[in-house]
Amino acid sequence: MLEKVLPHAMLKAKPNLELRIRTLKKYWATVYDMDRATEKDAQIATDIVEEIDVED
């Protein structure tokens, strides 16, 4: 994954960086799920489109 994003970076800490990226994605997913459960400040594309349609 990291090689696709930074092909010429020659990073030696590749496994550690990829693990950290996966961990951050998991944390963001958890925060997103909590926001969706409480419906506070959580919007997806369909929510935004519905709001725009209501305003028009």
pLDDT in tens, 5-14: 777 766 666 6
Tokens 């090689």, residue? Answer: 3
Q: Which of the residues in the chain have pLDDT under 50?
A: none
Please report the pLDDT score of residue 41 as a whole number: 64
Question: What's the number of CA atoms in the CB half-sphere (13 Å) around residue 3?
Answer: 2
Please report the pLDDT score of residue 51 as a whole number: 82
Q: Give 3-42 as a DSSP string.
A: HHHSTT---S-HHHHHHHHHHHHHHHHHHHHHHHHHTSS-
Q: How many helices (H) and strands (E) does the chain have?
A: 3, 0
Please report the pLDDT score of residue 25 as a whole number: 86
Please report the pLDDT score of residue 28 as a whole number: 82
For the record, the structure tokens of 56 come out as: 């028009």
For the record, the structure tokens of 50 come out as: 């519905």
Please report the pLDDT score of residue 47 as a whole number: 74
Please report the pLDDT score of residue 13 as a whole number: 65
